[in-house]
Amino acid sequence: MIIDLKMCMSRSFHSKKSYLCIIGMIAALYINGLGAIIQQKESASFNDIVAVSISSGFIILYYILSVFGGGLNLCQDLQSGYIKFIIAKTKKKDYIKAELISAFIWGSISALLSIIVFGVLIIFSLIILGYMPRNGIIGDWAYFTENVWTGLIFSLLCGTLSCLAVTVTIFIPNIFVGTAAPILILYMVMTLLNKWCSNIYLLPSCVYFAFTHIFDNMLYHWLYAICYSGCIVFIMYKLCYWKMKRRIQNV
């Protein structure tokens, strides 16, 4: 499986679309953040700008771009027929594992990298525009560290959405479906569970968005999100492997 994982990671690493999507993710956050700076002016602070940007409508574009790095590679293999040559040289199980792990890693890295660059750009923008709050650019340190942990949770969410794109496209090998379906499924599950099961802790809004603090310590909340994401990815692996065996029975 190591060889398969290296192949999948290398393909994403050398793909221009991966880096174009990261640039797009940064732009999606920064455009909204810059608008918030201009609107708030002297009262603008780093923490508030980050919170506004993450909760804005632009975040949907952010999610869509996060799946491109590794989430659609399997779809391209299915559409081109290249999947037959790959499966002929490796095990279906190893290939599926490699695709899912690669998708999760690239989805998480692209999200985390874009958030870091976005944060740096916001700090420079506040300095250049001369908006210096009384308590400094960062503001409340506890609020800042909470934003850091929330950014890490967002990276897990984007990694999981990228894996969901792999799972969807193995059933429906279409790039447009693979791009849109993860976001639609996420919001559908969030809406239904938060409406009917508001007291259950295994909710996407609690796990990924940290709106509800399950634990007082954000580190524990993040570790919980890792375990939660791992369970979801494992279920998707089982679905993908089952479908791959049915799809390529004669290879």
Class of residue 79 by CB neighbours under 10 A (exposed 0-12, middle 13-18, buried 19+): middle
pLDDT digits (tens, 9 = 90+) for 34-80: 777 777 666 667 777 777 777 666 678 888 888 887 788 888 777 77
The predicted-structure confidence for 155-170, as pLDDT tens digits, reads as follows 898 899 999 999 998 8
Beta strands in the chain (DSSP E): none
Instruction: Say what the pTM is.
Output: 0.85
The alpha carbons of the chain give a radius of gyration, in whole angstroms, of 19
**How far separated are the first and last CA of the chain, in Å rounded?**
18
Q: What is the pLDDT of residue 250?
A: 47
What is the four-CA torsion angle of 157, 159, 164, 165, rounded to 10 degrees?
120
Tell me the per-residue pLDDT of 85-107, one tens digit each, with 9 for 90 and over: 777 777 878 888 888 898 899 88
Mean of pLDDT over the chain: 78
251: pLDDT confidence band, cut at 50, 70 and 90?
Answer: very low
Two tokens at 35?
């608008």
Q: What percent of the chain has pLDDT over 90?
A: 6
* Distances, alpha carbon 41 to alpha carbons 8, 46, 91, in Å: 45, 12, 57
Q: How many CA atoms lie within 13 A of 208 on its CB side?
A: 22
Determine which of 8-17, 54-63, 117-126, 172-181 has the lowest per-residue pLDDT on average.
54-63
Let me know if 42 is exposed, middle or buried by CB neighbors in 10 A (0-12, 13-18, 19+).
exposed
Q: Find the largest Cα–Cα distance for the chain.
A: 69
Give the amino acid at 4: D
* Span 159-216, pLDDT tens digits: 999 999 999 988 888 888 888 888 888 888 877 776 666 555 556 667 776 665 667 7
CB contact at 8 A, 123 and 32: no
Give the pLDDT confidence score for residue 93 in this predicted structure.
82
For tokens 């393909």, name the residue: 11
Which pLDDT value is given to residue 164?
A: 92
Residue carrying structure tokens 């690493």: 13
* Higher local confidence (pLDDT), 234 or 222: 234
Cβ pair 102, 70 in contact under 8 A: yes
